[in-house]
Amino acid sequence: MSESPGQKNSPTLLTPVQYLKGVGPARAEALAELGVHTAEDLLNYFPRDWRFAPEPTKIADLRKGQTVCVIGIVEQTDYQAHRKIPFFEVMLADETGVCRIVWFHGKYLINQIEPGQRLAAIGTVSEYKHQLQLTNPRFHILRADEPQDIEAFSGPVYPASAKLPSWQIKKIIQSSLDVLCEQLPEFYPQEFLKKNDFCGRAEAYRQIHRPENEAQVHQALRRLKYDELFLMQLGLAVRRHQMEHQCRAFPMVWTEEIDRRIRQRFPFLLTEDQETVIREIVQDMSRTVPMNRLLQGDVGSGKTVAALYAALLAVANRKQAAMMAPTEILARQHAESIERYLKGSRVRRALLVGGMPPAERARIADELRSGQIDIVVGTVALLEEDIAFADLGLAVIDEQHKFGVHQRAQLRKGAAPHCLVMTATPIPRTLAMTVFGDLDVSVIRHRPPGRGEVITRWVPPDKRREAMEFLRRQIQAGRQAYFVYPRIEGENGPEENGRRKAAAEEYHLLSKTVFPEFRAGLLHGQMPVEEKKQIMAEFRAGRIQILVSTVVIEVGVDVPNATLMVIENAERFGLAQLHQLRGRIGRGQNRSYCLLFSETDNPEARQRLEVLTRTCDGFEIAEEDLRLRGPGELFSTRQHGLPDLKIANIVEDFDLLTFARKNAFELIRQDPCLTRPEHAALRKALIERFGAALGLADIG
């Protein structure tokens, strides 16, 4: 591609980064590896930190109590390990004198700071034995290829690469910053900015990349974080508006007679939470706007009963219902539960999973198409092209976070059935407002009465033998146990905290050496379907006392007599996942025990495990998991059509997120397609950032 002088002289936001001042083909390639392709990408390549250094002071001019920046050559280094408080010492020289610099507990600096290097140090001058020195200052080693003055380490610090250091990225951004900022359109009216103490958009970009002080950094961050959260919520608001106004669902009629007939199928009274959720579902399904509801319920809280009520309401209105689960084990579990409740009824039901005999699959597909099946439970097999419904009235999707937003749309098969999304992974408010921000939310907080208490203990290595004897006594008394491992097979290579245990190896050890008197079974995702079914059937029947497994049992396995669980290498699981696994026990009336085996000495990992021993409240655990691990690891936002956040953090910026959500949904109520002239810039930004992912390309 030939260079265009016009592009280089007056770049626009769409100018390829190669044509910006100081870039060229080689640096453009290095920037591309950092995700920067255009001038606008460069503007949105935000610093990871900011340093504010005073003008350099000559060593001869240092005075006690001053906060100074000193630049010089490292003449000598020494690590004093034998002192009461060990320290690392540097003698730094400029043309006017020599200054002593000390870092207490500075062993980590031995291989960083060496004689001959040029070093800048920022700190407060103190006095020790009549000699001026800097103690524990911030420092920056000036490389030979970067500026040798304050510019190199003062101001923004960018995420860098081996090919492109931070100071070069800074130089490139600074050279085009003003001309690019002039082209940024403002999203909001002046009165809104003034009322909420936001700086202008162009000013925010200038201040984030060229701040004069920390106050400007905070001001710029607040504005840019708000923009990012507001655009995200705007996308969700548009998606919700489209769902509510572009599709028409069949309004389900509810009568006391239908309610009585459905309740006859449940051999127990519904809990207060279940009653509330069913009221909300019935209300949603009575409208022509398709229901779009998320049902959150802790493991074992009774979500399936609420979903079945909704399905039977659809069937009573001569419509079909489909329930999709992420794994075959969970799909079969739901099918068996539904079978128990509907035994002897005239409701026609079927199970559709992968790997079925072709003839059986073809028969089910024909019966779905002709309306001979009322309720179908299945896996992603329900999404295949040849599966069509005569009249789908309700789609239930279990463990929604295992699917993407597009699969949710796919199950609807181009029609507009009511949609109920369920999850046993308690979702913190912040994630519910982002990942599931276009859904109404219902919560079942309490487990049905009569469930046994679950006691969780972290077992250190020296207590393991004692724990095994406890398990032996419990199994001898007729209980069953799960042993859960993070992997199927072992692996080569050293482990940070001992060997990572694997299900296949430990199965042989447990069955042959540790518990030879009991029958053990092995279950993992790579086993043939029939073998998995056989193992689960024998475990349910009590013929297998110990089930050795991977996380394949995380959702859907329901054996009331299984009251014991051991989770090996527990520190390798997230809190939410540990809580999910623990939910497999405590499903009967007897007290259950979850033992977390872990040899970790990582303080954060221990902190996570202690949270689990302290509470069984899934929502409290989810909030703690989000706080400790951040949102990225809990749910991939990408599978829900939301690009990753660059600058905002939904945990730390919750108040800003709430404010942005309120404003975004209000704006879409007033201008659903953002067609007003004053919203043109927002509309363009929304399409660029979220269009394809959220299906908003046709917003106008």
Percent above pLDDT 90 for the chain: 47
Q: What is the pLDDT of residue 392?
A: 93
Residue-wise pLDDT for 222-274, tens only, equals 999 999 999 989 988 888 888 777 778 899 999 999 999 999 999 888 989 99
Residue 636 predicted with pLDDT over 70 = no
Cβ-based neighbours of 192, under 8 Å, separated by 6 or more: 198
**Residue 442, phi then psi, degrees to nearest 5:** -120, 150
Residues 470-498 have a mean pLDDT of 75
Domains of the chain, CATH where assigned: 53-153 (2.40.50.140), 256-286+302-423 (3.40.50.300), 454-634 (3.40.50.300)
DSSP-assigned states of every residue in 542-603: TS-SEEEE-GGGTTT---TTEEEEEETTGGGS-HHHHHHHHTTSS-SSS-EEEEEE-----H
Q: What is the pLDDT of residue 138?
A: 87
d(C-alpha 301, C-alpha 310), whole Å: 17
First CA to last CA distance, the chain: 34
DSSP-assigned states of every residue in 420-478: EEEESS---HHHHTTTTTTSEEEEE-SPPTTPPPEEEEEE-GGGHHHHHHHHHHHHHTT
d(C-alpha 400, C-alpha 266), whole Å: 25
What does the block give as tokens for 639? 């599978």
Cβ atoms of residues 436 and 575 within 8 Å: no
Cβ atoms of residues 164 and 30 within 8 Å: yes
Residues 145-166 have a mean pLDDT of 77
Cβ-based neighbours of 175, under 8 Å, separated by 6 or more: 20, 21, 22
Reported as a pLDDT band with limits 50, 70 and 90, residue 276 is very high
Q: What share of the chain is helix, strand, coil (3-state, %, to 5)?
A: 45, 20, 40
Burial pattern 491-500, b for ≥16 Cβ within 10 A else e, equals eeeeeeeeeb
Q: What is the pLDDT of residue 1?
A: 42
d(C-alpha 402, C-alpha 80), whole Å: 54
Percent above pLDDT 70 for the chain: 88
Residues 211-228 have a mean pLDDT of 95
Q: What is the pLDDT of residue 584?
A: 82
Residues 434-459 have a mean pLDDT of 80
Residue-wise pLDDT for 117-140, tens only, equals 999 898 999 988 888 899 999 888
- Please state, rounded to an integer, the average pLDDT across all residues of the chain: 85
Helix axis angle for 303-316 and 272-285, nearest 10°, is: 30
Reported as a pLDDT band with limits 50, 70 and 90, residue 406 is low
Q: What is the pLDDT of residue 475?
A: 94
Reported as a pLDDT band with limits 50, 70 and 90, residue 699 is very low
Q: What is the pLDDT of residue 656?
A: 93
Q: Of the candidates 497, 486, 558, which has an alpha carbon nearest to the alpha carbon of residue 525?
A: 486
β-bridge mates for residue 50, sequence order: 156
Helix axis angle for 603-614 and 575-582, nearest 10°, is: 40
Reported as a pLDDT band with limits 50, 70 and 90, residue 498 is very low
Reported as a pLDDT band with limits 50, 70 and 90, residue 639 is very low
Tell me the pTM: 0.68
Q: What is the pLDDT of residue 153?
A: 67
Residues 436-450 have a mean pLDDT of 77
d(C-alpha 389, C-alpha 394), whole Å: 11
Q: What is the pLDDT of residue 257?
A: 96
The lowest-confidence range among 415-429, 544-558, 625-639 is: 625-639
Q: What is the pLDDT of residue 377?
A: 95
Q: What is the pLDDT of residue 375?
A: 96
Q: Of the candidates 222, 240, 389, which has an alpha carbon nearest to the alpha carbon of residue 322?
A: 389
Residue 450 predicted with pLDDT over 80 = no
**Residue 578, phi then psi, degrees to nearest 5:** -60, -40
Q: What is the pLDDT of residue 415?
A: 63
The lowest-confidence range among 280-289, 325-334, 521-530, 624-633 is: 624-633
The lowest-confidence range among 160-169, 375-384, 577-586, 620-629 is: 620-629
Q: Of the candidates 73, 100, 96, which has an alpha carbon nearest to the alpha carbon of residue 88?
A: 100
Residue 536 predicted with pLDDT over 60 = yes
Helix axis angle for 618-629 and 603-614, nearest 10°, is: 170
Cβ atoms of residues 185 and 205 within 8 Å: no
Residues 606-618 have a mean pLDDT of 85
d(C-alpha 575, C-alpha 609), whole Å: 7
DSSP-assigned states of every residue in 611-679: HHHH---HHHHHHHHHHHH-HHHH--GGGGT-PPPSS--TTTTHHHHHHHHHHHHHHHHH-TT--SGGG
What does the block give as tokens for 21? 């001042």
Residue-wise pLDDT for 15-60, tens only, equals 999 999 989 999 999 999 999 999 999 999 999 989 887 888 999 9
Cβ-based neighbours of 113, under 8 Å, separated by 6 or more: 74, 77, 88, 90, 119, 139, 141
Q: What is the pLDDT of residue 93?
A: 94
**Residue 6, phi then psi, degrees to nearest 5:** -60, -40
d(C-alpha 323, C-alpha 376), whole Å: 6
d(C-alpha 578, C-alpha 566), whole Å: 11
Residue 180 predicted with pLDDT over 60 = yes
Reported as a pLDDT band with limits 50, 70 and 90, residue 152 is low
Q: What is the pLDDT of residue 243?
A: 76
Q: What is the pLDDT of residue 170?
A: 92
Burial pattern 64-101, b for ≥16 Cβ within 10 A else e, equals eeeebbbbbbbeebeeeeeeeeebbbbbbebeeeebbb
The lowest-confidence range among 177-186, 388-397, 455-464, 603-612 is: 603-612
Reported as a pLDDT band with limits 50, 70 and 90, residue 89 is very high
Residues 601-614 have a mean pLDDT of 84
Reported as a pLDDT band with limits 50, 70 and 90, residue 8 is very low
